[in-house]
Amino acid sequence: MAITLELIILFLVSFFPIPSLSISDAFVYGGCSALKYVPNSPYESNLNSLLTSLVNSATYSAYNKFTITGSSPNDVVYGLFQCRGDLAMPDCATCVARSVSQIGSMCRQTAGAAIQLEGCFVKYDNTSFIGVEDKTVVLHKCAPSIGYDTDLMNRRDAVLRSLGGSGGPFRVGGSEDVQGMAQCVEDLSAGECQDCLKEAIGRLKSDCGGAVYGDMFLAKCYARFSTSGAHAYAKSNHGNSHSDGEKTFAIIIGLLAGVALVIIFLTFLKKVFGGHAK
């Protein structure tokens, strides 16, 4: 019964997209591997366990990694999630649940997938990528140049320098109207995180010349900056974490109600069709 319930919840999470609650659920990028797994295979059931573990774990942690092993080495699935360092716990869980839901509709039966929302990153694959530094550029976005403003560029460079100079997997910096943010996936060591961010920050500087905002997402870290709230991510949503918590609670109640409905419906079907079969 526990497993059935788990699968039903995963089913609900996968097929009924959770409505976007806050800026932290906004889509940034997503991708699916070209390889497909066999439906109803041990790999699929391992993947379902993995996704359930990720969603559960995000209710108490900002980062976690899992390796689900099957009877055969071909069925191993690796996965992790990383919430942005300033995200409150209910928002982290909501963000990971929403990522898993989007992966479900975006990447049907693919052996691997990755998704980045504003507030969290989720990735799984059947080849190990956990603890491996990866500086591949996944997404880079620069606002149109506003012309060369030396003063603005100086403040931007100072913010980027401060991001590069501070420590830890999550970094923020600001100078007057310029805001900066950087995040590593916490499977990287402190040294690897530093190296990855150095690359991201260097590319931001060289690629986003006179831009009022820039995003550089590498496979295991990202750095961003924005000016004068040109970019929504800089806005803190600390102020409404209370109402977000209430909404999360409402969603959980909604999911439980959904599970109850599915069980009632299945019981009903069993009665109707069970009756005919006699």
Q: Which residues bind ligand NAG (CB under 6 A)?
A: 35, 37, 74, 111, 126-127
DSSP for 135-193, please give it: --EEEEEEPPB----HHHHHHHHHHHHHHHHS-SSEEEEEETTEEEEEEE-TTS-HHHH
Of 199, 198, 203, 228, nearest in space to 213 by CA: 228
Q: Are 32 and 106 in contact (CB under 8 A)?
A: yes
Tell me which DSSP letter residue 211 carries.
B
151-185 burial: b if 16+ Cβ within 10 Å, else e: ebeebbebbbebbbeeeebbbbbbbeebbbbbbbb
**Which is nearer to ligand NAG, 39 or 167 (by Cβ)?**
39
Token pair for 219: 């496979």
E strand or H helix that includes residue 214: strand 213-218
Instruction: Output phi, psi for 38, to 5 deg.
Output: -80, 130
Position 240: which residue type?
Answer: N
Distance between CA atoms of 30 and 215, rounded to whole angstroms?
A: 15
Distance between CA atoms of 172 and 183, rounded to whole angstroms?
A: 9
* Strands in 53-119 per DSSP E: 63-68, 77-83, 113-117
Instruction: Output phi, psi for 87, to 5 deg.
Output: -85, 130
196-215 burial: b if 16+ Cβ within 10 Å, else e: bbebbbebbbeebebbbbbb
- In whole angstroms, the minimum distance from the beta carbon of 48 to ligand NAG comes to 16
